[in-house]
Amino acid sequence: MDNIIDGRLIASKIKEEIREFVRLRKENNKREPMITSILIGKDEGSIYYINSQEKIALSLGCKFKKILLEEDIEEEHLINIIEELNNDEEVDGIIVQLPLPQRLNEKKIVNTISPKKDIDCLTYINQGKLFAGEGEIIPCTPKSVLSLLEKSDVNLEGKNVTVIGRSNIVGKPVAQLMLSKNATVTICHSKTQTLKEITRKADIVIVAIGKPKFLTKEYVKEGAIVIDVGTSSLNGKITGDVDFEEVSKIAKLITKVPGGVGALTTTLLIKNACEALERNENENTNCNGVK
């Protein structure tokens, strides 16, 4: 099918760009990007994710440091570790794997990360900048949605985009990004009435609700573009929010699950670290006059 947006292929192109970025830095005697990822406890999903971050970062020529901490760590101790990383000039990106154990104050801990190194865009400062239209660091899942559209040469200007889902980590930032590209954006959620009528008017439907195969062809106009962010487990298989079999027959372009949005996110996390490194170096040059 030639209407599938291939997330893995687009990820491999972005990986090439990152490799080239690191290669050029080394050629100019500059250091590699360095990412640190903090994991508290032994959650299996988080261990899998942190290992995959490490594998991709190293394969792209970046440095990566895992900080594995015990489940019963004191909040002050964790905050001290993050502050040390904030002050370490050789660290460009800091990731804290969420969720944290319930007894820890997640908001306080996350907002200890320096906004300049917050490559997951978890701090209030970076989220505020994003919603002010001045985002420097874009969170990876929304950035993946935008990259899939842009690398498929979709011009968003003036398009009717409907985003289904309004979470702080996906729906709202996706909608904001689409707005920043001059799309006309409608945000829907579980209390939206006449959802089908709204989505059938959209040129682009982005769905992030966590309901397997929810979006059937009745929700989509012929020739629309459909981006599926959902990842749920259905009969032991990772399944998206879109009924792919049906909708792929009428969509102009469509993503698959797996192999769509999720295929890019870790690569984009590393890209955020590369961009942070460049931005912070340039800022230092501007402030001090020398570097």
Q: Residues in contact with ligand NAP, total (CB under 6 A)? A: 24
Residue 167 marked in a binding site: yes
Q: How far apart are CA 273 and CA 256, in angstroms?
A: 27
Q: If you ran DSSP here, which 8-state letter would residue 242 be given?
A: B
C-alpha distances out from residue 127 to 65, 131, 132, 174, 275, Å: 25, 6, 9, 12, 17
Q: How far is the CB of 191 from ligand NAP (least distance, A)?
A: 5
How big is the chain by its Cα radius of gyration, in Å? 20
Residue 165 marked in a binding site: yes
Residue 233 marked in a binding site: no
Interacting residues with ligand NAP between 123 and 142 (CB under 6 A):
141
Q: How far is the CB of 158 from ligand NAP (least distance, A)?
A: 25
Place of tokens 């502050």: 83
- In the complex with ligand NAP, which residue's Cβ is closer, 26 or 189? 189
Does residue 232 bind ligand NAP (CB under 6 A)? yes
- In the complex with ligand NAP, which residue's Cβ is closer, 126 or 266? 266
Amino acid at 290: V
Q: Judged by CB under 6 A, which of 7, 262, 275, 276 binds ligand NAP?
A: 262
- In the complex with ligand NAP, which residue's Cβ is closer, 57 or 78? 57
- In the complex with ligand NAP, which residue's Cβ is closer, 184 or 192? 192
Does residue 91 bind ligand NAP (CB under 6 A)? no
C-alpha distances out from residue 201 to 174, 197, 211, Å: 19, 7, 21
The contacts of residue 21 (CB under 8 Å, 6+ apart) are 274
Interacting residues with ligand NAP between 30 and 89 (CB under 6 A):
none
Does residue 167 bind ligand NAP (CB under 6 A)? yes
- In the complex with ligand NAP, which residue's Cβ is closer, 109 or 169? 169
Dig out the tokens for 113 from the structure.
Answer: 């990360």
Per-residue x/- marks for ligand NAP, 174-213, CB under 6 A? --------------xxxxx---------------xxxx--
- In the complex with ligand NAP, which residue's Cβ is closer, 160 or 167? 167
C-alpha distances out from residue 197 to 45, 192, 194, 220, Å: 37, 11, 5, 9
Under 8 Å between Cβ of 73 and 103 = no
Half-sphere exposure of 235 (CA within 13 A, CB side): 1
C-alpha distances out from residue 130 to 12, 139, 144, Å: 26, 9, 15
Dig out the tokens for 244 from the structure.
Answer: 């792919």
| Contacts to ligand NAP by CB under 6 A | 141, 164-167, 169-171, 188-192, 208-211, 229-232, 261-262, 265
Which residues does the annotation place in the binding site? Answer: 165-167, 231
